[in-house]
Copies of this chain bind each other. A is one copy, B any other.
Amino acid sequence: MDRIKARTLSGFMELLPGPQMQMERITEIIRSSYALYGFTPLDTPLIEASEILLAKGGGETEKQIYRFTKGDADLSLRFDLTVPLAKYVALHYNELAFPFKRYQIGKVYRGERAQRGRFREFYQADIDVIGDGQLDIANDAEIPAIIYTVFSRLGLKRFQIRINNRKVLNGFYAMLGLTDKSGDIMRTVDKLEKIGADGVRAVLVDDFSIDGRKADDILRFTAIHGTNDEVLAALAGYRGKNALFDEGLDELGTVAKYLGGFGVPQENFAVDLTIARGLDYYTGTVYETTLLDHPEIGSVCSGGRYDNLAEYYTDRQLPGVGISIGLTRLFYVLGEQGMLNPDGLTAPADALILPMTDDLSAAVALATELRSRGLRAQLYTEAKKFKAKMSYADKLGVPFVLFLGEDEIKDGVVSCKNMVTGEQEKLPPAAAAERIAAQIDERKRVAPVLDV
CB within 8 Å for A371 and B87 given contacts A43-B23, A97-B396, A360-B138: no
**Segment among A47-55, A172-180, A217-225, A414-422 that sits at the interface with chain B:** A47-55
CB within 8 Å for A14 and B88 given contacts A6-B314, A23-B43, A121-B46: yes
How far does the Cβ of A346 sit from chain B's closest Cβ, in whole Å?
9
**Using Cβ atoms and an 8 Å threshold, which residues of chain B touch A52?**
4, 6-7
How far does the Cβ of A120 sit from chain B's closest Cβ, in whole Å?
8
- Which residue of chain B has its CB nearest to the CB of A54? B4
* A377 close to B (CB within 8 Å): yes
User: 8 Å CB contacts to B: which residues of A370-426?
Assistant: 371, 374-379, 381-383, 392, 395-396
**Segment among A34-42, A208-216, A242-250, A268-276 that sits at the interface with chain B:** A34-42
**Using Cβ atoms and an 8 Å threshold, which residues of chain B touch A14?**
43-45, 88
* A226 close to B (CB within 8 Å): no
Select A70's contact among B17, B66, B87, B262, beta carbons within 8 Å.
Answer: B66
Distance between Cα atoms of A8 and B39 in the complex (Å): 22
* A315 close to B (CB within 8 Å): yes
How far does the Cβ of A397 sit from chain B's closest Cβ, in whole Å?
9
CB within 8 Å for A9 and B45 given contacts A70-B66, A71-B111, A138-B360: yes
* A335 close to B (CB within 8 Å): no
Contact status B348-A39, CB under 8 Å: yes
How many copies make up the complex?
Answer: 2
- Which residue of chain B has its CB nearest to the CB of A113? B71
Contact status A311-B6, CB under 8 Å: no
* A15 close to B (CB within 8 Å): yes
Contact status B24-A41, CB under 8 Å: yes
Of the four ranges (under 10, 10 to 19, 20 to 34, 35 or more), the interface on chain A belongs to 35 or more
Further contacts, 8 of them, CB under 8 A, given A14-B43, A66-B75: A9-B45, A9-B48, A12-B47, A37-B378, A38-B378, A40-B348, A46-B121, A97-B395
* A92 close to B (CB within 8 Å): yes
**Segment among A99-107, A287-295, A299-307, A439-447 that sits at the interface with chain B:** A99-107
* A96 close to B (CB within 8 Å): yes
* A16 close to B (CB within 8 Å): yes
**Using Cβ atoms and an 8 Å threshold, which residues of chain B touch A95?**
16
Select A371's contact among B36, B40, B44, B88, beta carbons within 8 Å.
Answer: B36
